[in-house]
Amino acid sequence: MESCVYVDHAATTPVHPTVARAMAPFLSDRFGNPSSLYRLGREAQAAVDRARDDVAAVLACRPGEVVFTSGGTESINMALKGVAFAQQLAGVGNRIVSTVVEHHAVLHTLEFLERFGFDIVRVGVDAQGRVDPDAVAAAVDAETVLVNVMLANNEVGAVQPIAEVAEALQRRAETIGRKPPLHADAVQAPGQLPLDVNALGVDLLSISAHKFRGPKGVGALFLRRGAPFLAQQSGGGQERARRAGTENPGGIVGMAVALEIADQQRDAHVRHVRSLRDHFFARVLDEIPGAVRNGPTDDRLANNANVGFAGVDGQLLLEALDAAGIAASSGSACTASSWEPSHVLLAMGADQDAAAGSLRCSFGLENSRDDVNLIVERLREIVPTLRQSHPLTPSVSAPAQ
CA neighbor of 52 nearest in space, from 185, 243, 203, 270: 243
334 is catalytic: yes
Query: With contact defined as beta carbons under 8 Å apart, do 126 and 132 qualify?
Result: yes
Q: Annotate 262-277 with three-state secondary structure.
A: HHHCHHHHHHHHHHHH
In angstroms, the CA 185 to CA 195 distance is 11
Residue 166 Cα to chain centre, angstroms: 19
d(CA 375, CA 280): 9
Q: Which of 4, 61, 334, 361 does the annotation list as catalytic?
A: 334
Contacts of 359 (CB under 8 A, 6+ apart): 306, 307, 308, 309, 314, 317, 318, 321, 328, 329, 330, 379
Alpha-carbon distance of 332 to 156, in angstroms, equals 10
Give the integer Cα–Cα distance in Å for 102 and 92: 25
Residues catalogued as catalytic: 334
